Amino acid sequence: MAEAEVGSGEGKPQEMSLKDKGNEFFKAGNYLKAAALYTQAIKQDPSNPTLYSNRAAAFLNLVKLNKALADAETTITLKPQWEKGYFRKGCILEAMERYDDALAAFQIALQYNPQSAEVSRKIKRLSQLAKDKKRAQEVQNLRSNVDIAKCLETLKTEMSEKYKSEDSWKEMFSFLVETMETAVKSWHETSKVDPRVYFLLDKEKSQADKYAPVVNIDKAFESPHTHSSCFSFLRQYAEDSFSRAACLVAPKSIIAYPQVWKGQGSRKWKHGQHDGFFVQFESPLLRKLWFISSSNEMGKTLCRDPEVLDIGAHEVFPRLFKEKLSSSS
């Protein structure tokens, strides 16, 4: 809470009396009455910096921040080497959440009174708040500007080499990027993703009324039996639907089997105990696996960039499509 300056002021006894009355109301928590009395005193003694400083403190407690800031600036103008004006300004700017500006004001206050423990505490607190605010903004920017295509840039070359037709690999790349971005946005909003397999159906061959582009697999990871049954179904579904590619999304937390993050040698897990989800891309010519880890920063869930895993060591499902070595399309 801001406090009024009680020290001796300049002027006549009547003016002092108004200031002292204002101080009494201030101490009692009646900031509106205190501000009114300081205003009366200022009319009689308009060049008294203590009166403006006290009224700034009253306005700050009334959350009339623009008025408070104007009084703090006037205090500084009237008495430029008085620490209190800068301290008032700093407290008001802090309330406005203008932490960098508040810090600058407190640092000037400290120059005029290097022994002030109160100002030193403010500087320490504001330095941390400014740092936290900056990081919170960075986190928000990362959450808002999900750019999976940029993360998968090297995959474009690999796809273009496998699939000779540019339209073909570009469609697959877009399908993968869209699936990943949807999963990341879902994780940011709800801290979860639904376990699903997304299929890139053939526009000419697939029967859209019979085969949906998404299959839920929430029971797939309960046991070796459910995993095997689901895999058999998905492999047949991919073939019958004339799918050109598939993309599996599965949160690590629901996988009882196979726990692909456990093991030694090439299967040794490199991502600590992070929560997150797997994305496995399947096509006749190319298979890829990523883990997107998640952390909590500044009270917000934040997905990290996709980490490529060795699909031979960590596959969530075996191969869904019959392998082809090259493609003419």
pLDDT tens per residue, range 140-174: 777 777 789 888 999 998 998 888 788 889 999 99
Q: What does the buried/exposed string (b/e) look like for 54-86 if buried means 16 or more CB atoms within 10 Å of the residue's CB?
A: bbbbbbbbeebbebbbbbbbbbbebbeebbbbb
Helix H, strand E, coil C: the string for 62-75 is CCCHHHHHHHHHHH
Per-residue model confidence (pLDDT) at position 65: 97
Tokens of 260: 């692909």
Helices (H), the chain: 13-27, 31-44, 49-61, 65-78, 83-95, 99-112, 117-144, 148-151, 153-162, 166-190, 224-240, 311-314
What Å distances lie between residue 209 and 90, 206, 276, CA to CA? 66, 9, 34
Q: Residue written as tokens 């204002």?
A: 22
CATH topology of domain 16-139: 1.25.40
What Å distances lie between residue 319 and 134, 168, 232, 236, 297, CA to CA? 45, 20, 10, 12, 36
Cα separation, 102 vs 130, in Å, equals: 10
Per-residue model confidence (pLDDT) at position 50: 96
Q: Please, what is the average pLDDT of the chain? A: 89
What Å distances lie between residue 62 and 1, 17, 95, 111, CA to CA? 11, 23, 11, 29
| 248 in Cβ contact with 197 (< 8 Å) | yes
* Count of CB atoms situated within 10 Å of the CB of 326: 10
With a cut of 50, which residues of the chain have pLDDT below it?
8-15, 329
> Where are the CATH 1.25.40.10 domain residues in the chain?
16-139
Per-residue model confidence (pLDDT) at position 272: 64
Tokens of 263: 């093991």
Q: In one letter, which amino acid is 189?
A: E
242: left (phi > 0), else alpha (psi -120 to 50), else beta?
A: left
